[in-house]
Amino acid sequence: MASKANRPDLVVDGKRLDGRAMDELRQLKIEANVLKNADGSAYLEWGRNKVLAAVYGPTETQPKHMADQTKAIIKCRYQMAPFSSLEDHGRTGPNRRAIEISKVTKEAFENVVMLNEFPGSMINIFIEILQSDGGTRAAGITAAAVALAGAGIHMKDLIYAVSVGKIGEHLVLDLNMKEDNYSDSDMPMAISPRNNNILLLQMDGEYTGEELHRAMEMAIEAGKTIGKIQRDALRSVYTNVAEKYESV
């Protein structure tokens, strides 16, 4: 959102630079259970984003003093790989941005994971951004939801996340990095599609009340597409198993 002085034309003839319509998602692919050691995992490609999410647990809480004897606790670590961005070489380890994203991601999942089923235990969510192209926190949450489901952890809902931004007078769904850099607003949201409750909401830029209303509508509508891809990823784990047996 830095310098708008030399902003390229991001919208030409009603289309975005990558040819998308304003309310069109980038291509989204999710594969579930991709890591052997993790209890659940998912690999996601969303546009040029490449994200790996893994879930370990429920397991014994470490360190012990963090344990809550009334419910499970969730720990979440979102991190960008040092080689993940086109421009910079990032430092290893979480920076202030990553710590904040980890916190709000954890809070979103606390809403849907049935924590009461596993008192005293912990559930670890690891989100590694291998390649970033805008909207990585949304990609991480969408992947982690599949990883949690794949781990067999009971949840009230399979949540997803997506961002809605503003470029000039246009509201645009699912900003890529270039759009994100030059946009007037960005608002990532995590949503529980069962009741369209908003579990994560961050925003900066400039929205009028009316634009806020439309932006939330766009995010809710996008959930239909994203949710189907998440469920298909989980379903195909078991179809593939079935095919394997058939071929024996």
Partner 1 sequence: MEAIGDIKSGYIRELLSKGLREDSRKVSDFRSIKVAKNVIENAEGSAQVDLGNTRVLAGVKVILGEPMSDTPNEGTLAMSAELLPLASAEYEAGPPSPNAIELARVVDRGIRAGKCVDMTSLFIEEGKSWNVYVDIYVLNYDGNLFDASCLAAMSALACTKMPEYENGAEVREKRVKELKIDNIVTSATFAKINGGILLDPNGNEENAAAARLTVATDGKFIRAMQKGLSGSFSAKEVEEMADMAMKKHDELKRRVMGA
Residues that bind partner 1 (CB under 8 A): 1-3, 96-97, 99-100, 102-104, 107-108, 110-111, 185, 187, 192, 195-209, 212-213, 216-217, 220
Residue closer to partner 1, measured from CB, 42 or 98 = 98
The residue (of 154 and 235) whose beta carbon lies closer to partner 1 is 154
**Shortest distance, position 115 Cβ to partner 1, whole Å:** 9
The answer to whether residues 133 and 47 touch, using CB atoms and an 8 Å cutoff, is yes
Q: What are phi and psi of 40, to 5 degrees?
A: -155, 150
Handedness of CA 171, 177, 178, 182 (dihedral sign): positive
Residue 19 identity: G
Backbone angles phi, psi at 69, to 5 degrees: -75, -5
In angstroms, give the least distance from the CB of 156 to partner 1. 11
Identify which of residues 41 and 192 has a Cβ nearer to partner 1 in the complex.
Answer: 192
Minimum CB distance to partner 1, residue 105 (Å): 11
Question: Least distance (Å) from partner 1 to the CB of residue 96?
Answer: 5
Q: Which is nearer to partner 1, 5 or 242 (CB)?
A: 5
Show the CA angle centred on residue 219, arms to residues 200 and 153, nearest 5°: 50
Say whether 158 sits in a helix, a strand or coil. coil
CA distance 215 to 102: 24
> Residue 74 Cβ, how far from partner 1 at the closest point, in Å?
9
> What does the alpha-carbon distance between residue 237 and residue 175 come to, in Å, rounded to a whole number?
29
Cβ distance to partner 1 smaller for residue 176 or 185: 185
